[in-house]
Amino acid sequence: MKSQLRTITHSLNARFVASTLTGLLLVELGLAQPGFLGHDRTRPLPPVVNPGYPSTPDKPGKAPSDAIVLFDGTDLSQWVAMDGEPTKWVIKDGAMECVPGSGYTRTLRCFGECQLHLEFATPAKVEGSSQGRGNSGVFFGGTRYELQVLDSYNNKTYADGSCGAIYNQYPPLVNASRPPGEWQTYDILWTPPKFDASGKLVAPARITAFHNGVLIHHNAELFGQTDWLSRPPYQAHPEKLPISLQDHGNPVRYRNIWVRELGQPGKPEFYLADKLLDSYCGKYQVNRDNVAEITRRDGNLLLKFFGYEFVLFAESPTHFFAKTVDVQAKFDFSGATKTVEISVGEDGGFKARKL
């Protein structure tokens, strides 16, 4: 009976989260904004999405039809180590498990505004206490903004480091933790901070989050990056960055991870391996009188071209684009001569040879 009640409660919580998030997302997509008459017959209908189905304690659920599935229990192709090399985390019994000491893992793809769903389980065998028990974390913006993962079931620790905390900033509104070893859910709406062209903060990051179907943060406004021993201020960074999972020395497991991108649609962006990006750096002969120079800044390339500088974002391992002007760069290192084709708008482009 207890198991049946738990399954029913889990299902009801999942439906509540789904309906609540649907309302929030309609506002996010602009469908609830003015500009149409009441009951306007010309107003576009919302797109149809198959919502999938929620997980049970024994079986992971199915993601919505418009979601990007990051882990379905079968492979780690969407995940890499922080430097872009293969992750050392492993798959066990359909779950993605942290190997203590292996380092954080992150998504290969970058995300800005999004709805993230994931499920986690802290170790069933209780070892340690406080921050040493079932510790991990979900990071947005690479490793800048953390929602804490911890075994907080009958485990006292500092409030802003408990399970569901926006680390070192906000405790969760409630402790909705399940016992060790049981699967738990996070449903998170992430709004990244906005910066102007000079790097000045325009709008802070915000998080709305549900833990096991229970609201734990309601549009919480972050006042900078999260950190252990300090509260560092914001520093300008790209809007889209990887989502990361923390290795804190405990074999925490994850399953059924998916994300739905919000905001304006755009090209997919990837955070490629440092080694690959470094291989593209150097000078390229554009024509007799002009040389282009490519350098790396974190996960982006910088292109100096005819006296202008552009930040390039990866949409594939060889194809990059700028966001201020329609500048594209396509690398071809397949032959003896290494080249990059740089084009602006619909021009024929310049095929530049690496010096």
Q: Over pLDDT 90: what percentage of the chain?
A: 86
Full DSSP string of 224-273: S---SS--PPP----S-B--EE--SSS--EEEEEEEEE-SS-----B---
Mean pLDDT of the 221-237 span: 96
146-169 confidence digits (pLDDT tens)? 999 999 999 999 999 999 999 999
Cα distance between residue 47 and residue 65, in whole Å: 11
For residue 25, the model assigns a pLDDT of 53
Token couple for 145: 């903004």
Length reported for the chain: 355
27 confidence band (pLDDT: 50, 70, 90): very low
For residue 188, the model assigns a pLDDT of 98
56-115 confidence digits (pLDDT tens)? 999 999 999 999 999 999 999 999 999 999 999 999 999 999 999 999 999 999 999 999
Q: Is the pLDDT of residue 143 over 80?
A: yes
Q: Which of 192, 212, 216 is nearest to 202 (CA)?
A: 192
Domains of the chain, first to last: 2-261 (2.60.120.560), 274-354 (2.40.128)
Residues 6+ apart with CB under 8 A from 63: 52, 69, 72, 117, 256, 258
Per the CB < 8 A criterion, the answer to whether 92 and 101 are in contact is: no
Residues 6+ apart with CB under 8 A from 268: 109, 315
